[in-house]
């Protein structure tokens, strides 16, 4: 299929015409200067970007806020609240909520999602299998990666059952290895286990790392140390990395430099960390967002994600990366353009290993937003976005899986 996105605003280039041929961007020319071949969509008054990627979601938990209690409001309270109702969460329930969330994300301009799936002794593979089914159902309009979120402990004799479950999840077809080393009795050994599990199965690694405010929590630095010591080059990402924000400047710099050399990407998750962390602290309450500027200065690719959508880990959330970008501007002091990059090109690099761009020869994964510039798009978060996925214009008809 050949079509044109006409008179759309491309930041730093002004109004352009973008021609799409098959899956690829075929041409970018000043608006109105070349003849159009094929259909044309007038996008005057829209700002264009490569499409959004959601680098860290929990689609199996989406929209559980009214069913799960978290009276303490913190991470362990959310975990305990979820376990209390685990027997009410069925395969079909997860599939339906996950598909609903994916459809909403697609309308907002997302074309790739990495979702973590609870992989625990109590839940078994229910979330894994349900999210793999949601991936299949939604494949015509969005790309979904399923990451195991392995329960703990994974180390020692007590971790044997979880380690066996991890092998079952890999056999079932998960796309990514993941877990929470900071919740294990032996965090360093847990990091080693997850890294070798990913390497042995040639799967990307994405850890929930240092999701706490303890200065001594060092999952991220230890992962970098392991990869540097072993000269390991592997697609690895660490999400949250909250504890780094409360360490001293020298510690932040040291870790950031190691992470950059190791090629580990980092995903900041402002929604959930602002909500869960810092409870009970009344003075100088931490923002609990990883130190984005220090990481980026060192050369680390830093993305931003929404994490949870209306569940006990985050009661809010609209499944909209522009909401994430807005929080990165307000709470992490990023410029609007940098914040947009964190939910587009950097987020795509986390999910797929390569950054996305709007340029000739790239796959046409695009979103056009009704706004005059990037700042306005993030500030207003307008609906009615024009979404292209793999060279196909995505409409609600294509999102209907029935």
Give the pLDDT confidence of 339-375 residue by residue, as tens digits: 999 999 999 999 999 999 999 999 999 999 999 999 9
CATH number at residue 19: 2.30.40.10
Residue 14 lies in a domain: yes
pLDDT value for 344: 98
Give the pLDDT confidence of 138-160 residue by residue, as tens digits: 999 999 999 999 999 999 999 99
Give the pLDDT confidence of 196-244 residue by residue, as tens digits: 999 999 999 999 999 999 999 999 999 999 999 999 999 999 999 999 9
Q: Which residues contact 341 (CB under 8 A, 6 or more apart)?
A: none
Element spanning 399, H or E: helix 396-399
Identify whether residues 324 and 383 lie together within a single domain: no
Give which of 229, 245, 234, 147 is closest to 188, Cα–Cα. Answer: 229
State yes or no: pLDDT of 283 exceeds 90.
Answer: no
**Over residues 9-19, mean pLDDT:** 94
If one counts the domains in the chain, the total is: 2
Burial of 372 per CB tally in 10 Å (0-12, 13-18, 19+)? exposed
pLDDT value for 402: 61
State yes or no: pLDDT of 397 exceeds 90.
Answer: no
pLDDT band at 286 (very low <50, low <70, confident <90, very high): confident
Task: Specify the residue for token string 């994916």.
Answer: 102
Residue 401 lies in a domain: no
Helices (H), 173-289: 187-200, 219-229, 249-262, 270-276
pLDDT value for 287: 87
Identify whether residues 364 and 269 lie together within a single domain: no
Give the pLDDT confidence of 152-206 residue by residue, as tens digits: 999 999 999 999 999 999 999 999 999 999 999 999 999 999 999 999 999 999 9
What CA–CA distance (Å, rounded) separates 356 from 352?
Answer: 9
Identify whether residues 196 and 271 lie together within a single domain: yes
Identify whether residues 310 and 376 lie together within a single domain: no
Residue 25 lies in a domain: yes
Identify whether residues 129 and 30 lie together within a single domain: no
Give which of 338, 318, 335 is closest to 385, Cα–Cα. Answer: 318
């Amino acid at each position: 299929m050949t079509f044109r996105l006409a008179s759309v605003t491309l930041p730093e280039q002004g109004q352009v015409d973008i021609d799409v041929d098959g899956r690829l961007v075929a041409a970018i020319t000043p608006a109105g200067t070349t003849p159009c071949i094929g259909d044309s969509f007038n996008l005057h008054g829209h700002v264009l970007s490569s499409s959004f990627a959601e680098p860290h979601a929990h689609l199996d938990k989406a929209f559980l806020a009214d069913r799960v209690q978290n009276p303490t409001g913190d991470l362990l309270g959310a975990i305990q609240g979820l376990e209390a109702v685990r027997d009410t969460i069925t395969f079909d329930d997860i599939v339906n909520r996950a598909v609903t969330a994916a459809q909403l994300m697609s309308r907002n301009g997302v074309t790739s999602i990495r979702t973590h799936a609870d992989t625990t002794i109590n839940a078994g593979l229910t979330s894994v299998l349900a999210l793999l089914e949601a991936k299949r159902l939604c494949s015509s309009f969005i790309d979904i990666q399923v990451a195991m979120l392995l329960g703990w402990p994974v180390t020692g004799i007590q971790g044997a059952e979880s380690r066996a479950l991890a092998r079952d999840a890999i056999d079932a077809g998960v796309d990514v290895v993941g877990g929470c080393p900071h919740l294990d009795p032996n965090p360093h050994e847990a990091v080693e286990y997850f890294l070798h599990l990913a390497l042995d199965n040639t799967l990307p690694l994405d850890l929930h790392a240092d999701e706490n405010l303890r200065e001594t929590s060092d999952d991220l630095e230890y992962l970098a140390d392991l990869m540097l010591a072993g000269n390991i080059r592997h697609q690895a990402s660490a999400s949250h990395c909250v504890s780094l924000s409360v360490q001293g400047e020298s510690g932040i710099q040291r870790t950031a430099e190691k992470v950059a050399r190791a090629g580990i990407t980092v995903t900041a998750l402002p929604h959930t960390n602002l909500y869960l962390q810092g409870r009970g602290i009344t003075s100088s309450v931490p923002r609990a967002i990883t130190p984005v500027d220090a990481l980026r200065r060192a050369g680390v690719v830093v993305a931003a994600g929404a994490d949870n959508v209306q569940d006990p880990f985050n009661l809010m959330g609209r499944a909209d990366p522009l909401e994430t970008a807005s929080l990165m501007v307000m709470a992490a002091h990023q410029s609007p353009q940098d914040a947009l990059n964190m939910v587009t090109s950097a987020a795509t690099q986390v999910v797929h290993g390569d950054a996305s761009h709007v340029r000739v020869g790239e796959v046409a994964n695009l979103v056009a937003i009704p706004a005059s510039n990037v700042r306005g798009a993030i500030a207003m978060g307008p609906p009615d976005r024009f979404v292209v996925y793999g060279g196909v214009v995505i409409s609600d008809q294509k999102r209907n899986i029935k």
